[in-house]
Structure 1
Amino acid sequence: MKAKELLERYEAGERDFSGVDLSKENLSGAVWTGDGFGDENDYPVGGAILRGINLSHANLTQVRLDGVDLREANLQGANLETALMTFADLSDANLSEAVLFRTSLSRAILKRTNLKKASLRQATIIRANFCDANLEEANLFETNAEYTNFCRANLKNSKLDICELYCADLSGADMRGISLYFSRLDRAVAIAANMTRANLSRTRLREANLTDANLTDSQGAELDDAILYETIVPDGTMMSNERGKTEINRIVESREDFIKRVEKIDLISSEDFRQRYEAGERNFSGCRPRIRNSRFLLDIDLSRTNCIGTDLTDCIITNANLEKINLQRAKFFNCKLINSNLRGANLRDAKLDSASLINVDLTDADLTGADLSYTRFIGANLTNVNLTDIYMGSEFGYTNYEARFAHTIMPDGSMRNDDLAIGAEEFLRRYAEGERDFSGIILHYADLRDVELRKINFRKAYFNYVDLGSANLIDSYFGSAKFIHCNLKKTKFEHIDGNIGRYYDYGCDFSFAYFIYVDMRQSHAVGTVTSTSFIECNFEEANWDCSAEDIVIYHNVILENGEFFSRM
C-alpha cells in the first residue's frame, strides 16, 4: 500500500491498517488521531489502529498520532520529528535509531519498546510509561520526563543531560554509563538501580530515593559533585551536602530575584518587556529581558543582553542589533532572523533548526555545538565564526534536513553557494527546458521582471531581494515560501480555468508563506492565503481575491485603501 491510498481510505472512514507495509513512505503531516475523547484524562478515541504496521525509515514529521494503537509497529529509523503522539500505545514496537526530536509522547505507553540509539532530544514524555523498554545509547538531551516510569528500563550509556526527571520512577533500571549532567531528579525514585559508571556531575537530587542503588565507579559516586538535599542514599540514610543546602536556600527565591541579586543587572520580566515593546520602546541594550511568546521583534536593540535559553520559536526578528548578545542554548525553531547584527554573539548550543538567517552579520560569533539542521543561511556573513561540534542535520542519514548556504561568507572567507541557490539566468533556462519543480530553491538578488511563469512548484522556496515587478505567475504553488525585500508591484498571480493539478485548482497557493518587507502595490492574486503572514508590506491599490481556511497574519501593513494597519 502507498501513503496516498492509506490516507484516502482513512479519510473515507477506515481505521484498521494493522500489518500494512508503508516503509520509506512520506506521510509528513498526516493526521490519524481520534476525533473524540474518553472520560478519563481526556483520552483520545476513534484514532487509527496501526498495530504491527511497517513504517521503518518513513518520513513521519509533524504527524498526529494521539491515542493511536501502534503496538508491535516497526518504526526503525523513522523520522518522527515534532510528531504528536500523546496517549499512543507503542508497546513492543521497534523505534531503534528513530528520530523523535521535539516529539510529544506524554502519557504514551512504551512498555518493552525498543528505542536503542533513538534520538529523543527535547522531547516531551511527561507521565509516559517506558517500563522494561530498551533505551540503550538513546539521546534524551533536554527531555522533559516528569512523572515518567522507567521501571526496569535499559538506559545503559544513554544521554539524559539537562533533563527534568521530577518524580520519575527509575527503580531497577539499568543505568550503567548513563549521563545525567545538570539534570534534576527531585523526588525521583531509583531504588535498586544499577548506576555503575554514571555521570552525576551537577545532578540535582532533592528528596530523591536511591536506596540500594549501585553507584560503583560513578563520576560523583560519593555524590560530592551532585546537588544533594534530603535524599535517601544507597545505604538507606538521608543525606544533604553543602551544594544541596546552598541550592535549597536559593529555591525559596524566584529565579528572577536570584539572578538580579547575583548579577546586579536590569532584569525585565516577560510581561514588562512585552508592555514596553508594544508601547514603542526598542532599546534594551545591556539588560536581561525575559522574552516569551514574542511573535515579532522589529528594529530592536538587544546588544550585550543576557538572553540565555530564550525561546524564540516562530519569532520574526528584523533590523535588530544583537551584537555580543548571550543566546546560549536559545531556541530559534522556525525563526526568521533578517537584516540583523549578531557580531560576537554567543550562540553556543543554540537550537537554530529550521531557522532562516537572511542578510545577517555573524562575524566572530560562537556557534559551538549549535543545531543547524534545516537552517538556511542566505546572504549571511560567517567570518571567523566558531562552528565546532555543530549538528548539521545529516547525522541520522536525513540529507533533506541539512543546513543550506546561499551567497554566504564562510568562516575561512570563502563564498558558499549550495545547489539550491540559483540565479535568474539559470532559473529561466531550466524553466524553458520544461522543469517545473523548484521546491526549496533560493533566488537571491534576481531580476525576473515581466516574466510569465506557469504551474511551478515553489514550495519552501526563498525569494530574497527578487524583482518580480509586472510578472505574471499563473497557477503556481508557493506553500511555505519566503519573500524577503521583494518587488511585487503590478505582479499578477493568476488562475486559468480547468483541472490542472493538485496545487493549482484554485489559482496560486500561498499557504504558510511569509511576505516580509514586500512592495505589493497594484498586484493581483487569485488563490488561497491560509496561515499566510504579511509583515511590513504595502498593498496600496492591490487586489488579492484569495480564500483562507485559517487565520492570516497582517503586521504593520498598508492596506489597499492606503490605511496603515498594525496588529501585534
Structure 2
Amino acid sequence: MKAGEITEKYKQGDRDFTGIDLSRENLTGASLAGINLANSSLIETNFSCANLNSAVLQTASLHNAVLFRTSLSHANLCDADLSGASLIKANLHGADLGKTNLRDADLTGANLNGSNLSNADLSGANLSGVFLVGANLEGANLTETFLKGANLDGAKLVGANLEGANLTEASLSHAQLDRANLSSADLSNANLYGATLCSALLVKANLDGANLSNADLNGADLKDADLNGAFLTEATLDKASLDGANLSKTNLYKANLNGANLLRANLNGANLNGTNLTGAELYAIDEPA
C-alpha cells in the first residue's frame, strides 16, 4: 500500500491496517493517531514528525524506520503499543514515547538520544548498543531489560525500575538515577562516572569493575552488592548501606562514607587512602588484608 492510499483511507475513518506493507513509504507529518499497524512491514518507513498517538504496532517490523524529531516537531508515539516490535537501528531521536508499551521489543542499535520514554514499559526489551544520551526515562519499567553496551550518558532515570536489568559495559556517565530500583541488576564494567544515585536501590546488584568515581550515592542501598574491583574514587556515600557488600579490591580513594553502614562488608584489599569513615558503622567488617 502507498502512503497516499493509507492517509486517504484513514481520513475516511478506516483504522485497521493490520499486516500491510508500507516499507520505504514516506509518511512524514502524517496524522495517524489510533491506527492499527500490528504485524505490518514498516522497514525504512519515514514517520518523522508523524502523530502515532495510541497507535497499535504490536510485532511490527520497523527496521531502520525514521521516527525522529525535527526543529519544528517530533514523532508522537505516546501510549502506542509497540510490544514485540522490531525497531533494530530505528531512528527515534527526540521522539515522544511517553507511556509507550515496548515490552519485549527489539531496539538493538536504535537511536533514542533525547527521546521521552517517561513511564514507558520496556520490560524484557533488547536495548543492546542503543543510544539514549540525554533521554528521559523517569518512572520507566526496565525490568529484565538487556542494555549491554548502551549509552545512557546524561539520561534521566529518576524512579525507574531496572530490577534484574543487564547493563554490562553500559555508559551512564552523569545519569540521574535517584530512587531508581537496580536490585539484582548487572552493572559489571559499566561507566557510572559522576552519576547521581541518591537513595537508589542497588541490593545484590553486580557492580564488579564498575566505574563510580565521583558518583553521588547518598543514602543508596547497596546491601549485599558486589563491588569487587569497582572504582569509587571521590564518590559520595553518605549514610549509604553497604551491609554485606563485597568491596574487595575496591578503590575508595578519598570517598566519603560518612555515616555509612559497613556491617559485614568485605574490604579485603580495598584502597581506603583518604577515605572519610566518620560515623560509619564498622562492626564485624572483614578488615583489609
Pairwise same-fold verdict (TM > 0.5): yes
Name stretches of at least 5 consecutive residues in structure 2 with no aligned partner: 1-16, 32-49, 261-268, 274-289
8 Å CA contact retained: 1:119, 1:138: yes
Distance 1:194 1:4 in 2: 49
Q: Secondary structure at the match of 2:139?
A: coil
Q: Distance in 2 between matches of 1:193 and 1:177?
A: 12
Q: Please tell me the residue identity of whatever aligns with 2:131.
A: S
Find the partner of 1:107 among 128, 134, 152: 134
Letter in 2 for 1:121: K
Distance, in Å, in 1 between the alignment partners of 2:143 and 2:154 is 20
Number of residue equivalences: 232
Equivalent residues of 2:133, 2:151 under 8 A apart: yes
Give the RMSD, CA atoms, in angstroms: 2.1
**What amino acid is aligned across from residue 34 of structure 1 in structure 2?**
R
State the match for 1:128 in structure 2. 155
Give the whole-Å Cα distance in 1 for the aligned partners of 2:29 and 2:172: 37
Could you tell me which of 255, 268, 274 is aligned with 1:231? 255
| Kept in 1: contact 2:30–2:51 (CA 8 A) | no
Candidates 46, 62, 66, aligned match of 1:31? 66
Partner letter of residue 118 of structure 1? T
Does the C-alpha gap of structure 1 residues 64 and 179 become closer, same or farther in structure 2, counting only changes over 3 Å? same
* CA drift at 1:34: 2.0
2:115 to 88, 91, 95: 88
Report if aligned partners of 1:214, 1:234 keep a CA contact under 8 Å in 2. no
Question: What displacement does 1:46 show?
Answer: 1.9
Aligned mates of 1:234, 1:194 — CA distance in 2: 14
1:156 aligns with 2:162: no
Show the counterpart of 1:52.
Answer: 79
TM-score (norm 2): 0.76
- Does structure 1 residue 166 correspond to structure 2 residue 183? no
Matches of residues 55-454 of structure 1 in structure 2 within 5 Å?
Answer: 55-220=82-247, 224-235=248-259, 243=271
The equivalent residue for 1:309 is none
More helix by share: 1
Q: Which amino acid aligns with 2:249?
A: D
Pairwise CA distance, 1:243: 3.5
Q: Structure 1: give runs of 5+ residues left out of the alignment.
A: 37-44, 246-568
Q: Is the 8 A contact 1:85 1:106 kept in 2?
A: yes
1:467-482 correspondence to structure 2 within 5 Å: none
TM-score when scaled to structure 1?
0.39
Distance 1:234 1:157, change over 3 A: farther
Conserved 8 A contact 1:86-1:104: yes
- Alpha carbons 1:212, 1:235 under 8 Å: kept: yes
Deviations 1:209-267 (A, max 9, x none): 000111111122xxx4311110001426xxxx86465xxxxxxxxxxxxxxxxxxxxxx
Q: 1:226–1:172: structure 2 CA closer, same or farther, 3 Å change rule? A: same
Measured after TM superposition, the shift of residue 21 of structure 1 is 0.6
- Partner residue, 1:21: 56
Q: Which amino acid is 1:20 matched to?
A: A
Cα 1:115–1:242 shift into 2, 3 Å: closer
Distance 1:69 1:113, change over 3 A: same
The separation in 1 between residues aligned to 2:117 and 2:27, in whole angstroms, is 20
- In structure 2, relative to structure 1, the CA distance for the partners of 1:7 and 1:55 (3 Å cut) is farther
* Distance in 2, Cα, partners of 1:114 & 1:17: 21
Distance 1:89 1:6, change over 3 A: farther
Question: How far has the Cα of 1:7 moved from its partner?
Answer: 7.1
Percentage of identical aligned residues? 29
